[in-house]
Amino acid sequence: MFNAKIKSEIIKGIIDVTSPLVNEAKFNITSKGISIRAVDPAHVAMVDLELKSTAFEEYKADDMELGIDLDKLNGIMKLANTGDSITMEYDEESNRLIVKIGNLIRRMGLIDTAGMPDSKVPHLDLPAKAVVRASELSKGVRASEAVSDHLALSVDKDSFELFAEGDTDTVNLKLPKSLLLELHAPGKFKSLFSIDYFSNMIKPVKNEDPITINIGNDNPIRVDFDFAEKHGHVTYLLAPRIESE
Amino acid sequence: MFNAKIKSEIIKGIIDVTSPLVNEAKFNITSKGISIRAVDPAHVAMVDLELKSTAFEEYKADDMELGIDLDKLNGIMKLANTGDSITMEYDEESNRLIVKIGNLIRRMGLIDTAGMPDSKVPHLDLPAKAVVRASELSKGVRASEAVSDHLALSVDKDSFELFAEGDTDTVNLKLPKSLLLELHAPGKFKSLFSIDYFSNMIKPVKNEDPITINIGNDNPIRVDFDFAEKHGHVTYLLAPRIESE
Amino acid sequence: MFNAKIKSEIIKGIIDVTSPLVNEAKFNITSKGISIRAVDPAHVAMVDLELKSTAFEEYKADDMELGIDLDKLNGIMKLANTGDSITMEYDEESNRLIVKIGNLIRRMGLIDTAGMPDSKVPHLDLPAKAVVRASELSKGVRASEAVSDHLALSVDKDSFELFAEGDTDTVNLKLPKSLLLELHAPGKFKSLFSIDYFSNMIKPVKNEDPITINIGNDNPIRVDFDFAEKHGHVTYLLAPRIESE
């Protein structure tokens, strides 16, 4: 059994977070909420999303897995206006997800989850941590896109830094401790990442909302942020690009 | 003689209604107003539009036919701002329509109406009628576009219903009598239509404005609505798609 | 030395004015301000732009020339929000322009100015002058684009006129003296111009702002307007199209 009512924006938020990595996702449903874990086809990035049952206006669920076409679900959410609540219900007999938006009933076919692997979140020992405002970070990323396809992130005890270098041009964003929400770094740590992936990872976070970055040396990065008024949480992992010299 | 002054939005409304069916239209002008009747090239849909002289700020006209390129007229209307009045005058000597927008004078070539047939509105005996709000109907149509290229409309004594079915997905919009502005149905009536055509027909009606639907069994549908603050009226006829079983 | 602070909108304005003619421009920098003079590759139009040091919040400069890729500078300006001040600094050692937007530092490669010719503004004896509001003129130009690729501008002692003629359609915009901000014409003067070029020249001027037009008979036109709250001035010259009859 799965029967839930929620603001359409929150479902749109789930799609924004997962769809840059995968077209289809396995929604793991329990009595406590929904979680999604997905790895992109190139195995460069992983998303781990949790949405608690407290994010819902109504929520009743047994344990189950639903295989969902994210594009299709996105199209359905576009039928709802901002502020509209929708209901979602699993119909076991027909193996369909029934979405109700006002007087509209949309029955959606599901994807077999048998072919969808269960990814494990690898344990990472990342020594440094910085909490940055989304607006600052996204300005740095947009600037970097014009000069290169990869960027370096580094953290030391005084600042968080983003750096990108092209043939003739460079981008440098240095945020001193005073402009960070949090900073912890026992030394200097630096890794290189694909701008495309990193840009998609931070895009769902808006304005002055905080993004937590955990980083090591030539190690994956871990990016964390909340959504759905803290009833939801997202963790991204992104593999580093190793500088060939 | 044809010499008229009118808000540019009303002319834009005429174009919105007729241009989905035809690129060129014959404007039938009399002392009482303007009417347009047009059939699409595939002979699936017909539009019958009337705009009374009372919709105009100034109106003087003898009987005449003007063959108008709708794309061109649309381009001219885009030069006017919302709320601007424009004047239109037929210049017999040059066979041009002279459109004035503020200080701008635009002389537009006309199309020979000899090749444009006079369509007759077929008599249809459609037993059921429902009056629906545009916003509800257009949400149902948008949802249907994602699952199929045709939809079924049905009316019985209790409700109006829209249904579309794809390989795995369905759309169902059921509006009970309490949500309809009017309902009259001596039995159950149902016909199937092309979503493309039906979507274009209701697109010009906005928000909570009423759309009148007359329907039979596997018969054409008749869609009626007012525009230009009830000085104008539109009737669409759309042929059914017959279900092959 | 070049070290300046200015609102990003003013730099965007410079780009809007020069980029329709050239992709790369030579910024001539002196203690009094910045000037740019550029001719389009077809040698049909010239722009002559001056921005006084008083337009800047801070300004310190020795004489120098900076070769700038306008597309790249435009991309950098898009990183700034409306109202943001940016600083620009020439770094002699690396031959880079350093642009600072908040905490972001963008180092931009420069183009060798050796291949960029110094254009002289030709002396033109244009007897007639009209000062027109941008909104009126741009409506006439947009209407003309639909019927032809060239338009005629004419001035006499009573009015300013714009005229374009296609196979079947014409556009006529006649502004009597009462609708002009200024009019001076010892006789009637008329020249023909490319709509594409003329459209780009007046596009940066918005709403009711004045555009000064100096015109002769089958002679280039000179278009003048201010920007940056009159701390900047633009002169365009546009060669006429000679009517072949």
Q: Do residues B58 and B2 lie in contact, with contact meaning Cβ atoms separated by under 8 Å?
A: no
As a 3-state breakdown, chain C gives helix, strand, coil percent values, each rounded to 5, of 20, 45, 35
Q: Do B79 and C143 touch (CB under 8 A)?
A: yes
Task: Choose among C79, C103, C109: nearest Cβ to A169.
Answer: C109
Q: Is the sign of the CA dihedral B144, B145, B151, B155 positive or negative? A: positive
> Cα separation of C48 and C54, whole Å?
18
Q: Does C166 touch chain A (CB under 8 A)?
A: no
Facing B109 at nearest CB: one of C142, C143, C169: C169
Mutation site, B136, B163, B167, B171, interface A, largest A CB count within 10 A: B171
Residue C245 has pLDDT above 60, yes or no: no
C187 Cβ under 8 Å from any chain A Cβ: no
Contact B170 A75 (CB under 8 A): no
Closest Cα in chain C to A160: C103
Find chains touching chain B: ≥3 CB pairs under 8 Å.
A, C
- Interchain CB contact of C75 with A (< 8 Å): yes
To the nearest whole Å, the CA of B141 is away from the closest chain A CA by 10
Percent of chain C exceeding pLDDT 90 equals 96
DSSP 8-state code for residue B124: -
pLDDT single digits (tens) C203-214: 999 999 999 999
Give the span between the Cα atoms of A144 and A166, in whole angstroms: 9
Q: Check if B15 contacts C (Cβ < 8 Å).
A: no
pLDDT at B21: 96
Question: Which of A118, A147, A106, A134 is closest to A213 using CA atoms?
Answer: A134
pLDDT band at A194 (very low <50, low <70, confident <90, very high): very high
Using a CB-CB cut-off of 8 Å, the residues of chain A touching C106 are 143, 169-172
Instruction: Quote the Cα angle for C149-C201-C99, to 5°.
Output: 135
- Of A245 and C65, more confident: C65
pLDDT digits (tens, 9 = 90+) for B100-151: 999 999 999 999 999 888 889 998 999 999 999 999 999 999 999 999 999 9
- Interface contact B136, partner A, CB < 8 A: yes
Best B66, B95, B106, B111 member to test C by mutation, with max C CBs in 10 Å, is B106
Question: Is pLDDT above 70 for A243?
Answer: no
Return the SS3 of A84. Answer: coil
Domains belonging to chain A, first-starting first, are 2-115 (3.10.150.10), 128-238 (3.70.10.10)
pLDDT in the model for residue A245: 52
Q: Do A167 and C103 touch (CB under 8 A)?
A: no
A99: chain B residues, CB-CB within 8 Å: none
Cβ partners under 8 Å of residue B25, min gap 6:
B18, B36, B38, B67, B68, B70, B116
Query: Which of A132, A137, A147 is best to mutate for the C interface (most C CBs within 10 A)?
Result: A147
Distance CA C186, CA C215 (A): 11
Is the pLDDT score of C198 beyond 60?
yes
pLDDT in tens, C94-105: 999 999 999 999
Which chain A residue lies closest to B135 (C-alpha atoms)? Answer: A79
pLDDT digits (tens, 9 = 90+) for B27-63: 999 999 999 999 999 999 999 999 999 999 999 999 9
pLDDT value at residue B9: 96
pLDDT band of residue C119 (cuts 50, 70, 90) is: confident
Q: Does residue A71 sit at the B interface (CB-CB below 8 Å)?
A: no
SS3 C180: coil
For chain B, what percent of residues have pLDDT higher than 90? Answer: 96
Q: Using CB atoms, pick whichever of A72, A79, A105 lies closest to residue B172.
A: A105
To the nearest whole number, what is the mean pLDDT of chain A? 96
Across the interface, whether the CB atoms of C103 and A136 are under 8 A apart is answered yes
The contacts of residue B80 (CB under 8 Å, 6+ apart) are B8, B86, B101
Is B175 near chain A, with CB under 8 Å?
yes
- pLDDT digits 0-9 by tens, B177-213: 999 999 999 999 999 999 999 999 999 999 999 999 9
Interface contact C79-A143, CB threshold 8 A? yes
Measured CA to CA in angstroms, residue C68 lies from A146, A166, C77, C155 at distances of 16, 17, 13, 38
CB contact under 8 A, A103 and B170: no
Interchain proximity A79–B136, CB inside 8 Å: no
Q: Which pLDDT does position B117 carry in this prediction?
A: 83
A76 interaction partners in chain B (CB closer than 8 Å): 143, 146
Does residue C244 register a pLDDT over 70? no
CB spacing of A101 vs B170 below 8 angstroms: no
For residue A101, give how far its alpha carbon lies from the nearest alpha carbon of chain B (Å).
10
Confidence (pLDDT) at C118: 85
Candidates B72, B103, B108; nearest CB to C136: B103
Chain B touched by A6 (CB under 8 Å): no
The nearest CA of chain C is from the CA of A214 a distance in Å of 21
Taking CB atoms and an 8 Å limit, are A107 and B139 in contact across chains?
no
ipTM: 0.91
Cβ atoms A202, A195 nearer than 8 A = no
Give yes or no for B73 touching A (CB within 8 A): no
Give how far B156 is from chain A: nearest CA, Å. Answer: 17
Q: What is the pLDDT of residue A244?
A: 62
Interface contact B105, partner C, CB < 8 A: yes
Q: What is the pLDDT of residues A50-109, one digit of tens each?
A: 999 999 999 999 999 999 999 999 999 999 999 999 999 999 999 999 999 999 999 999
Confirm or reject contact between A165 and chain C (CB < 8 A): no
Residue A76: per-residue pLDDT: 98
pLDDT digits (tens, 9 = 90+) for A114-151: 988 888 999 899 999 999 999 999 999 999 999 999 99
Scanning chain A, the segments in alpha helix (DSSP H) are 8-18, 70-77, 134-145, 195-202
CB atoms near residue C207 (< 10 Å): 8
Residue of B nearest to C176 (CA): B103
- For the stretch A15-60, pLDDT in tens is 999 999 999 999 999 999 999 999 999 999 999 999 999 999 999 9
A54: helix, coil or strand?
Answer: helix
Report yes or no on whether pTM surpasses 0.80.
yes
In this prediction, residue A118 carries a pLDDT of 85
Which residues in chain C touch residue B96, judged by CB atoms under 8 angstroms apart?
A: 168-169
Give the helix/strand (H/E) hosting C42: none
Confidence of residue C124 (pLDDT cuts 50, 70, 90): very high
Residues in chain A, overall count? 245
Query: C-alpha distances in angstroms, A19 versus A111, A213, C235?
Result: 16, 21, 50
Calculate the CA C65 to chain-centre distance.
Answer: 20
Q: In whole angstroms, give the CA distance from residue A153 to residue A220.
A: 11
Distance CA B51, CA B28 (A): 10
Q: Which residues of A touch B168 (CB under 8 A)?
A: 96, 108-109
Cβ separation of A108 and B136 shorter than 8 Å?
no
Amino acid residing at B73: L
User: Which candidate in A106, A110, A111 is best for mutational testing of the B interface (most B CBs within 10 A)?
Assistant: A106
On chain C, the residues whose CB falls within 8 A of the CB of B104 are: 139-140, 143, 171-173
Question: Which residues in chain C have Cβ-Cβ distances shorter than 8 Å to A171?
Answer: 104-107
C106 and chain A: CB distance < 8 Å anywhere?
A: yes
Residue of C nearest to A162 (CA): C104
Per the CB < 8 Å rule, is C105 touching A173?
Answer: yes
